[in-house]
A and B are shown apart, each in its own frame.
Chain A
Amino acid sequence: MFTALFLFFLWRPISLGTTTGLFTALKHAFRRPVTLQYPTEQPVLAPRFMAHPVLTWDFEVDEPYCTGCLICMKICPTDVITVSMKDNEKFASEDSKRRKIVDDFKLDVADCIMCGLCVDYCNFDAIVMSDHFDASVDNRSNLVHDLQTLLDEGKGQQEKGRWSPPATKKSQRRSAAQAKVSKPSSSEEAKESTSEENEIETD
């Protein structure tokens, strides 16, 4: 009874906005600070986090996967990629199966919108989105990455396991292409093509 009276008389004063705010602040004082002490404490990135694209390295042949086919340069919505190709010397000595190889690759991170289209369109899985989020430099010209930097960063990404080797993915893509080429007009053919795909995947 007394408690009820007490609550009745005290409820309105406590429910004043100012008082509520004060107690909310006090409640937050006992929570953990959300601050991330950045240079000493690194953030935990999401597995699909995308910063600017980098180039991968084929460790078996010891050359980049990139053949300089220019598809990324053509598809790039902000025109930040510039590629040129050359004849592969290792193809002449039959060390490599790549007839052409990338000569120069320039990426202007200042204008890159990190859309990932270059990765989607690359036929050789030569390009991958990095997790290199702290891209600040002291000069704007340092934002233009050349081939060597991109390859070095790409090796780092491969070591982190953010890129799967192209062999498996290539077979999948080939089966998908075959399915397209066969043009499934009837349902049976479509079924066949899907079964083919499944077989390849199980292989």
Chain B
Amino acid sequence: MNISDYISIFAIVFVMFNGILGSVLVVIYGERKVLARLQQRIGPSRTGPWGILQTLADAVKLVLKEDIRPQNSDRIIFYLAPLIIFTPIFMLWVVLPFGSGLVLGDIDLGLFYVSALLGLSVVGMVAAGWSSNSKYAMLGSARSAAQLISYELPLILSILSVGLFAQLFTDNPFNLSSIVNAQAGLPFIFVMPLAFVLFLIGGLAETARIPFDIPHADEEIVGGAFVEYSGIRWGAFQLSEYTGLITMAFLASILFLGGWSGPFSDKFVWLQPFYISSKTAFIILLAFWIRAPLPRLRIDQLMAFAWKAIIPISFANFILVSLVVFIGDRISLPIFQIQLILGLLNLISMIALAYLLTSRRKRRLAVYRERWGEK
């Protein structure tokens, strides 16, 4: 490698890093605005036209704030923890493709790389909570560790089921680019909606979004693992959280919504980044929408939901996909028929699950009425 290679690498990394930072600003502004409209408010409207400079002002304020460290905290780990959370999320973007060939490192085991790095944020959370010598931070980090570990499983199982299904199309099913190429005919969301829903729930929990925002339950433990942080270090946590949201949405659009493929995306290459970013924006909007009406789960409800409902379902989904792919491949069914069968089975199982959930609620209501009378 000569010097021009280094310069080009530096330029690419610089552009990507700053692009992600800028998109985080946009996403935070968009979240505040969309959430406000969903709750019949106006949202930020004072800083700049329509308040578009609000996040920038917040960021400037965070940078200018004093960086305080509690007296008896573990200094090295305290200063390291934001970086431990911050870095893996940005490392993910090395393998995420924006278009055909528009990717920094097109590695063959992209899915494994992604699932490995997604799990790393737990370490940073625990480090932050442990080192800041505060019971609230400790509690928050313990809760978030429990949550992140529990929801890692369904997330990775749904990612793996995508890899399994992509086997039918390519020799290289864990490469993200070939997964996108496999969805040129039919995006995987129509083939396995159950895996998509599981991925969405797991992703919301991993990025600590609202029905699962126990790690930083603002009203209970005032900010979770990073109560003691201030200024730019707290900003780093916030930044990595929103970057995690964008990354999850990007991953979902790659794995399930067909990535960069869309109408005329083969002829006009410049359409590809546009397609993938609009799909990402759609998933992010979905996350905002889910945030608006739902309350926070209690910690025991959260764990029960993970271990009693989501993880068995994701295992069942994994087994279903692998069975269909295996049998279909053995008896050499055409791919279209395999897709149809898998999609129908998924639909049936989703409706059955919904029935199961509602019937459980009805049973509980019946028990309640039996005990306490009509109310």
Task: Tell me the A residues contacting B by CB distance below 8 Å.
Answer: 9-10, 12-13, 15-18, 21-22, 24-26, 28-29, 31-35, 37
A-B pairs, 8 with minimum CB distance: A13-B354, A21-B293, A25-B293, A25-B292, A35-B42, A25-B38, A33-B42, A29-B38
Residue on A nearest B347 in the bound complex, by CB: A9
Q: Which residues of B contact A16 (CB under 8 A)?
A: 354, 357-358
Q: How far is the CA of A24 from the CA of B361 in the complex (A)?
A: 20
Task: Tell me the B residues contacting A by CB distance below 8 Å.
Answer: 36-42, 45, 289-290, 292-294, 350-351, 354-355, 357-358, 361
Interface of B is mostly: helix
Q: Across the interface, do B289 and A33 meet the contact criterion of CB distance under 8 Å?
A: no
Residue on A nearest B295 in the bound complex, by CB: A21
Known: A13-B354, A33-B36. A26 touches B41 (CB 8 A): no
Residue on B nearest A10 in the bound complex, by CB: B351
Residue on B nearest A12 in the bound complex, by CB: B358
Q: Which residues of B contact A33 (CB under 8 A)?
A: 36-37, 40-42
11 contacts between A and B (CB under 8 A): A9-B351, A12-B354, A12-B358, A13-B354, A16-B354, A24-B293, A25-B39, A25-B293, A29-B38, A32-B40, A35-B42
Q: How far is the CA of A12 from the CA of B357 in the complex (A)?
A: 9
Q: Which residues of B contact A35 (CB under 8 A)?
A: 40-42
Q: How far is the CA of A168 from the CA of B71 in the complex (A)?
A: 75
A26-B289, A34-B40 given; name 15 further pairs at CB < 8 Å: A13-B351, A21-B293, A22-B289, A22-B290, A25-B289, A28-B38, A28-B39, A28-B40, A29-B37, A32-B40, A33-B36, A33-B37, A33-B42, A35-B40, A35-B42
Residue on A nearest B348 in the bound complex, by CB: A9
Q: How far is the CA of A10 from the CA of B45 in the complex (A)?
A: 40
Q: How far is the CA of A66 from the CA of B189 in the complex (A)?
A: 79
Q: Across the interface, do A37 and B45 meet the contact criterion of CB distance under 8 Å?
A: yes
Q: Which residues of B contact A18 (CB under 8 A)?
A: 294
Residue on B nearest A19 in the bound complex, by CB: B354
Q: Which residues of A contact B292 (CB under 8 A)?
A: 25
Q: How far is the CA of A145 from the CA of B312 in the complex (A)?
A: 70
Q: How far is the CA of A194 from the CA of B361 in the complex (A)?
A: 68
Q: How far is the CA of A86 from the CA of B201 in the complex (A)?
A: 78
Q: Which residues of B contact A31 (CB under 8 A)?
A: 40
Q: How far is the CB of B289 from chain A (nearest CB, A)?
A: 6
Q: Across the interface, do B358 and A21 meet the contact criterion of CB distance under 8 Å?
A: no
| B39, B290, B294, B354 — most chain A CB neighbours (10 Å) | B354
Q: How far is the CA of A15 from the CA of B351 in the complex (A)?
A: 12
Q: How far is the CA of A125 from the CA of B37 in the complex (A)?
A: 48
Q: Which residues of B contact A25 (CB under 8 A)?
A: 38-39, 289, 292-293
Q: How far is the CB of B79 from chain A (nearest CB, A)?
A: 40
Q: How far is the CA of A9 from the CA of B358 in the complex (A)?
A: 13
